[in-house]
Amino acid sequence: MRFGIVGVVATLIQYGVYYLLLPYMDERIALTIGYIVSFCCNYVMTTRFTFKVKASPKNAGGFALSHFINWSLQVVSLSFFIWLGVPKEWAPIPMYMVCVPVNFLLVRFFVKR
């Protein structure tokens, strides 16, 4: 439940930044900027609220690695859905459907271990 709340907040932040920047730049750059903003908020919420662990260099490194993998998957899947014909404004929705479950498993592994 806590992961879901944090995930929704982080996703809304990322999508909001993406949507606002999309008219001014390439969709992959807009996605990346949104991801960076969301990442910062997400780490604090994940350690304090989702998994209730202390922030540390070790779990920050694992969190960053898992999110680098997730960001890479997001860029690839966003490009794929746009290539399939999904409008740029809506392509993040199926992208999130693919990436969120993968991200949960990665973050849980790196933060909780």
The model's pTM is 0.83
Max CA separation in the chain (angstroms): 43
Q: What is the pLDDT of residue 64?
A: 86
Is 7 within 8 Å of 104 (Cβ atoms)? yes
The pLDDT of residue 101: 87
Terminal CA-to-CA distance of the chain, rounded, Å? 19
pLDDT digits (tens, 9 = 90+) for 14-36: 999 999 999 999 999 999 999 99
For residue 113, what pLDDT is reported? 58
